[in-house]
Structure 1
Amino acid sequence: MKKTLFIVLLLASFSGKSQKSSLNIIPQPVEIEQTAGLFTLTKSTIISYNNASARSVADMLVQKLNTPTGFLLKTQEGKGGAIQLILNETNNDNIGKEGYTIVSTTKAVIVSANTTAGLFYGIQTLVQLLPKEIEAKAVAKSSWTIPAVKITDYPRFAWRGIMFDVSRNFFSKEDVKKYIDQLARMKYNTFHWHLTDDEGWRIEIKSLPKLTQVGAFRVPRSGHFGDRAIPKDGEAATVGGFYTQDDIREVVAYAQDRNVTIVPEIDVPGHSMAAIAAYPELSCNKNPKTFVNPGAAMADWYGNGTFKMLYENTLNPSDEKVYEFLDKVFTEVATLFPNKYIHVGGDECYKGFWAADEGCQALMKQLNIRHVEDLQGYFMNRLEKILKAKGKKLLGWDEILEGGISPEATVMSWRGIKGGIEAAKMGHDVVMTPTTFAYLDYNQGEATIDPPIYAGLRVSKSYSFEPVPDGVDAKYILGGQGNMWTEQIPSLRYAEYMSYPRVWALADVYWSPKASKNWDNFAKRMEAHFERADLAQVNYSRAVYDAIVKTTLKDNKLSLELGTELSDLDIYYTIDDTMPDSFSPKYSSIVDLPEGPITLRVITYRSGKPIGHLITLKRADLEKRASK
């Protein structure tokens, strides 16, 4: 079938060298050589480890294998097992700290690495070499075989992360651990935990109890986020929750066992409405009626990136009590998270309340600065000194570049890649996480199918992401991450739906060699993982099977252009108010639509069977999306 030009270009834009292996591993290993034969896992198979520090990895593997196989597999120290986990006695420089090798034959499987992290990633690949039934939640029937292979694998980037927002909607520690477990299996090593925002403060700070007593709860509301009513006078705030410090320690330890570093985010000086609701004196206006936002509209947006806040949600940079507050917060945060980074937000900070505040104006005069925007630079430098005193490095969204930051600060580029390029050229370490490729709360396909959100991001677009821009020294690009904002995501089940398969695509981007990128190859592996996810009871989107509908309006003539992300789908459509099937017109080239009221209905088929959602659009809808 002739595909439309925009889809051909989309697929061709990242049609790199394909791996010859038929194995469906995500992320794609660096080198795979498949040979003849199979290793068969039986109830008598022993899993051995040659170093006591590798025992926990061996135990995890046994735990994963025993449920679906029904075997009672055991581990033993030494090198005598049919499956051997080997910590190298002599360092293998080729694979580094997180790499591994796998050699499987008909007689044995040997996973080798320099570190326990490498062994952990090795067993993730080993599990993917087994039949899909290994993902079952109960005993399943299968031939438990592993193909004979030689694999050498190591990551492209050191930072492979996912940000999870638990402020807009609260997720239990059990949900968080389950999500971390899923990410670790895709070889992600960083979990960016967005713990505070206008909609909730989620971490216990013992020296400031109101942060969770007040800031962790909001009034109950239903409906679309951004359309909800503000609290009524006297209305009880009953929705929310927070993590005790014991909860935090438990989740941190769980993540560490899976080689995942947790980076906490305390979002300041903007996005601080929940903190101000607890302690109104931290703001410029000190309004005692400040509330935790239940999902009401917070700002007027002007379309060019500028906005005006309707409610005060910024800390007062001229008040020394704010820095005393921050010192208390970060003293306790620093003791809970052993990694070197603390994310401090810094994004979307509205300066209007500062401009009207006498204390801020006096501070500007004292500092001899003319622009209120420069107060954020002052605030961030004060905050960085607080973090340094606790042995931590400041990490923030790309707005922290405004007003100046120290060379040691690390920048997370979210407003496209421009901020990351600027930061790297200034010598800052950068994590690339642009909206255009990595925002997991965006719709994944046809906007009329999924619940509405303000933008879209297809899995093929995520897969096409290249974190190192042209002209930038790669040594400053630590890696990248995907961001899961949860305004419209109230449950873990739906978080999974929005994550996958895009999280799988980004796993390839951050781990696998750039030269191995090939969309058709990834698509095959992705579909194999759909079947694994079904057995694992993990949710995911099937938007990749849906048609892509584009229109053009020229000289009052409306033209229709259809395409698909997958190359082997057929598209059928109707405009005569009938339901399309495989006997309807089959799309092959641009269609000039007739004048007058019409309803377009589109569906995709594969091998004679329907596979995508039915898309229904009236003429007015088609005209709205037309490119002129």
Structure 2
Amino acid sequence: MARAQSPIQLIPQPVSVQPQTGVFTLTKSTTINYDQADGKAVADMLSQQLNVPTGFGFVAKPGKAGKIQLNLNTTSNAQLGSEGYTLDASPKGVTITANRPAGLFYGIQTLTQLLPKEIGSQATTTATWTVPAVKITDYPRFGWRGIMLDVSRHFFPKDDVKQYIDQLAKLKFNTFHWHLTDDNGWRIEIKSLPKLTEVGAWRVARTGHYGDLAEPKPGEPTPYGGFYTQNDIREIVAYAQARNVTIVPEVDVPGHSMAALAAYPELSCTKAIVSVNPGTAFSEWYGNGTFKMKVENTLNPSDEKVYEFLDKVFTEIAALFPNPYIHVGGDECYKGYWAQDPGCQALMKKLNIRHVEDLQGYFMGRVEKILTAKGKKLLGWDEILEGGISPTATVMSWRGIKGGIEAAKEGHNVVMTPSTFAYLDYMQGDPTIDAPIYANLRTQKTYSYEPVPDGVEAKYILGGQGNLWTEQIPNLRYAEYMTYPRGWALSEVFWSPKEVKNWPNFVRRMETHFERADIAQVNYSKAIYDAIVRTTMKDGKLHMELASEAPGLDIYYSIDDTMPDQFSTKYSQPVDLPEGPITLRVVTYRAGKPIGHLITLSRDALQKRIGRF
């Protein structure tokens, strides 16, 4: 691949990178030392990380004269904070210095990115293990740098979750939001409520596109699913903590509760028997954000037994997760069953509220009291603003940035996670290539995201995260494909100074990370190399514009039923397509070699995408 490549290609980009002269060479005799006991765990992790690909057998030891030296400041460096570090590499060795072990941890992630790409190999390999001489000062822009993984739609085994967390930690993400319950499965053992996993963790087996699957049949076996025991949870929490990752659990209530109601139907308004949903069309959406549920999936806010149930759930969850937050969902709660329920009507009368929507505010208030009693803070999706919430609640803004702006102006802490920039389940490239789902989100748009909206005090923006909903993501390999490279882009949005962001520069660094990911056997999408096909109608003619995310690509196309290559028509300016039943074929090249997918679109398909993508 012909391209200019600097030896220092880091993601996320540090605050300051000053290349120096020469290289440090790692050999069998290189020593790894840490100057304080608190640095031992990170030094041990570095040794293990280096030993697999090099085969050198490093053992970290206490001391102050290591060729790779990890030091903790005795007097805190205010600039670095709790997660920053300095890295000084010269031909004589590498010194990483930080105030806290978290900073040392991030320093070693940068060090491994400075080493050759073979450092990611899962077996011993040969390489010249050199580190370019450089002085780096680095610290994060935001304190909350997260990725959410939904394990309800598809269950991800314990080892897959650990592997995913490990990848995130290498990118300096520090929060793993774990979406543990929804309509499609309850994934966490609650010992006082055994049916939640005996019934709620399992569903009928179905293959195909989510939303188009067949309803469960009476008596049909439910082999598909799984759950995490409390011991599994403890193990994963400890694994994450060792990598400076905080896990925020989510139990989605009062809507999105079909798996819970399959186990305990008496907690709904109708008390109807429901099944854990395998991905059927159980709701009708009306295009303006409103919808109707065909099957009840909401807890009954007027039933005291619901709050007794939630107290049991949150008692056990609070004991498993040491972080201060529990996410309680609050999104997409259908209130049609509440409106028809005598108990809900009586509660509304008692509370002197006229709108059924306000019952959600009452419900969330009760939930927050439960969490507060367990020493936890309530965190929810931006719908929790609608019914009124306490000043101490934290809001996750997902329906664009509007909810985040509103919440911040009311003095709430906010985590920005808008679907328009941060939904990793959305298509990354052309919908004829990626499996179709709700919307399209390209890496370049994700990279362009600015988490602090204009007119909002930055102190209320804790940070942001990407969300990976898994309706159509059945396994870790595909979860990786959907996460990267957009997850790399978000790592830089949340960690790096706003001023260093530069898309062409990021693309160059991203391409070196494609090579690193190949060796580490981490999957990713190459949609940035695919052509972007946009159409409009102008003066009654179908008008086509082609573009690419990666700079410097040549785009070739045909409309005469030939397969395009570098000898076909080269795109240079917008084109008016001729009348008739044409088929457009588009392909991208770089340096004379094909690089993107072939995209094929009929005239009908071109007309249907007018004004889209």
Q: Which of the five TM-score ranges fits, normalised by the shorter chain?
A: over 0.9
Q: Which residue of 2 aligns with 1:495?
A: 479
Q: Distance in 2 between matches of 1:627 and 1:465?
A: 22
Q: Distance in 1 between matches of 2:18 and 2:521?
A: 31
Whether 1:543 aligns to 2:527 is: yes
1:468-507 aligned at under 5 Å gives the runs 468-507=452-491
Q: Which residue of 2 aligns with 1:428?
A: 412
Whether 1:578 aligns to 2:557 is: no
Instruction: Please report how far the alpha carbon of residue 22 of structure 1 lies from its aligned counterpart in structure 2 after TM superposition.
Output: 5.2
Q: Distance in 1 between matches of 2:386 and 2:492?
A: 32
Displacement over 6 Å in runs of 4+: none
Q: Which residue of 2 aligns with 1:621?
A: 605
Structure 2 residue corresponding to 1:48, chosen from 16, 33, 36? 33
Q: Which residue of 2 aligns with 1:121?
A: 106
Q: Which residue of 1 aligns with 2:301?
A: 317
Letter in structure 1 aligned against 2:377: K
Whether 1:563 aligns to 2:547 is: yes
Contact conserved, 1:199 with 1:274, CA < 8 A, in 2?
yes
Instruction: Please report how far the alpha carbon of residue 554 of structure 1 lies from its aligned counterpart in structure 2 after TM superposition.
Output: 2.7
Tell me the SS of whatever aligns to 1:230: coil
Q: Distance in 1 between matches of 2:31 and 2:161?
A: 32
Structure 1 residue corresponding to 2:433, chosen from 449, 457, 460? 449
Structure 2 residue corresponding to 1:391, chosen from 375, 383, 408? 375
Alignment root-mean-square deviation, CA: 0.9
Instruction: Please report how far the alpha carbon of residue 86 of structure 1 lies from its aligned counterpart in structure 2 after TM superposition.
Output: 0.4
Q: Distance in 2 between matches of 1:346 and 1:440?
A: 20
Whether 1:359 aligns to 2:364 is: no
Q: Which residue of 1 aligns with 2:236?
A: 251
Q: Taking every aligned residue pair, what percent have the same amino acid on both sides? A: 74
Whether 1:331 aligns to 2:315 is: yes
- Could you report, residue by residue, the CA deviation over 1:61-105 in whole angstroms, capped at 9, with x for unpaired residues? 111111111211121101121000001111111110000000111
Q: Distance in 2 between matches of 1:213 and 1:136?
A: 40
Tell me the SS of whatever aligns to 1:562: strand
Q: Which residue of 2 aligns with 1:12?
A: none
Whether 1:107 aligns to 2:107 is: no
Whether 1:73 aligns to 2:58 is: yes
Q: Distance in 2 between matches of 1:279 and 1:433?
A: 32
Change (3 A) 1:533 1:27: same
Q: Give the number of the structure with larger relative contact order, counting CA–CA contacts within 8 Å between residues 6 or more apart.
A: 1
Structure 1 residue corresponding to 2:363, chosen from 365, 376, 379? 379
Q: Distance in 2 between matches of 1:251 and 1:68?
A: 25
- Could you report, residue by residue, the CA deviation over 1:337-367 in whole angstroms, capped at 9, with x for unpaired residues? 0000000000000000000000000000000
Contact conserved, 1:268 with 1:346, CA < 8 A, in 2?
yes
Change (3 A) 1:76 1:521: same
Whether 1:91 aligns to 2:76 is: yes
Tell me the SS of whatever aligns to 1:98: coil
Structure 1 residue corresponding to 2:143, chosen from 127, 151, 158? 158
Contact conserved, 2:83 with 2:106, CA < 8 A, in 1?
yes
Q: Distance in 2 between matches of 1:348 and 1:104?
A: 51
Q: Distance in 1 between matches of 2:208 and 2:610?
A: 29
Instruction: Please report how far the alpha carbon of residue 230 of structure 1 lies from its aligned counterpart in structure 2 after TM superposition.
Output: 1.0
* TM-score, normalising length: structure 1: 0.96
- Could you report, residue by residue, the CA deviation over 1:299-323 in whole angstroms, capped at 9, with x for unpaired residues? 0000000000010000000000000
Q: Which residue of 1 aligns with 2:264?
A: 279
Instruction: Please report how far the alpha carbon of residue 274 of structure 1 lies from its aligned counterpart in structure 2 after TM superposition.
Output: 0.3
- Could you report, residue by residue, the CA deviation over 1:573-615 in whole angstroms, capped at 9, with x for unpaired residues? 0000000000000000011111001000000000000000000
Whether 1:217 aligns to 2:192 is: no
Q: Distance in 2 between matches of 1:454 and 1:263?
A: 26
Structure 1 residue corresponding to 2:133, chosen from 134, 148, 155? 148
Q: Distance in 2 between matches of 1:333 and 1:360?
A: 28
- Could you report, residue by residue, the CA deviation over 1:360-389 in whole angstroms, capped at 9, with x for unpaired residues? 000000000000000000000000000000
Tell me the SS of whatever aligns to 2:569: coil
Structure 1 unpaired stretches of 5+:
1-19
Q: Distance in 2 between matches of 1:238 and 1:138?
A: 36
Letter in structure 1 aligned against 2:188: I
Letter in structure 2 aligned against 1:376: Q
Q: Distance in 1 between matches of 2:60 and 2:360?
A: 55
Whether 1:169 aligns to 2:154 is: yes
Contact conserved, 1:21 with 1:34, CA < 8 A, in 2?
no
- Could you report, residue by residue, the CA deviation over 1:143-177 in whole angstroms, capped at 9, with x for unpaired residues? 10001110000000000000000000000010000
Q: Which residue of 1 aligns with 2:175?
A: 190
Q: Which residue of 1 aligns with 2:283?
A: 299
Contact conserved, 2:7 with 2:132, CA < 8 A, in 1?
no
Structure 2 residue corresponding to 1:263, chosen from 240, 248, 251? 248
Whether 1:465 aligns to 2:449 is: yes
Contact conserved, 2:151 with 2:470, CA < 8 A, in 1?
yes
Instruction: Please report how far the alpha carbon of residue 21 of structure 1 lies from its aligned counterpart in structure 2 after TM superposition.
Output: 6.9
Q: Distance in 2 between matches of 1:241 and 1:108?
A: 48
Instruction: Please report how far the alpha carbon of residue 140 of structure 1 lies from its aligned counterpart in structure 2 after TM superposition.
Output: 1.7
Contact conserved, 1:269 with 1:346, CA < 8 A, in 2?
yes
Contact conserved, 1:21 with 1:32, CA < 8 A, in 2?
no
Q: Distance in 2 between matches of 1:21 and 1:534?
A: 19
Q: Distance in 2 between matches of 1:103 and 1:567?
A: 33
Q: Distance in 2 between matches of 1:142 and 1:323?
A: 59
Q: Distance in 2 between matches of 1:101 and 1:317?
A: 52
Letter in structure 2 aligned against 1:109: V
Instruction: Please report how far the alpha carbon of residue 556 of structure 1 lies from its aligned counterpart in structure 2 after TM superposition.
Output: 2.6
Contact conserved, 1:21 with 1:33, CA < 8 A, in 2?
no
Q: Which residue of 2 aligns with 1:13?
A: none
* TM-score, normalising length: structure 2: 0.98
Letter in structure 2 aligned against 1:248: I
Q: Which residue of 1 aligns with 2:325?
A: 341
Aligned length: 608
Q: Which residue of 2 aligns with 1:588?
A: 572
Q: Which residue of 2 aligns with 1:526?
A: 510
Tell me the SS of whatever aligns to 2:33: strand
Structure 2 unpaired stretches of 5+:
none
Q: Distance in 2 between matches of 1:454 and 1:89?
A: 51
Contact conserved, 2:482 with 2:524, CA < 8 A, in 1?
yes
Q: Distance in 2 between matches of 1:368 and 1:555?
A: 58
Q: Which shows bigger deviation, 289-298 or 368-377? A: 289-298
Q: Distance in 2 between matches of 1:554 and 1:76?
A: 71
Tell me the SS of whatever aligns to 2:60: strand
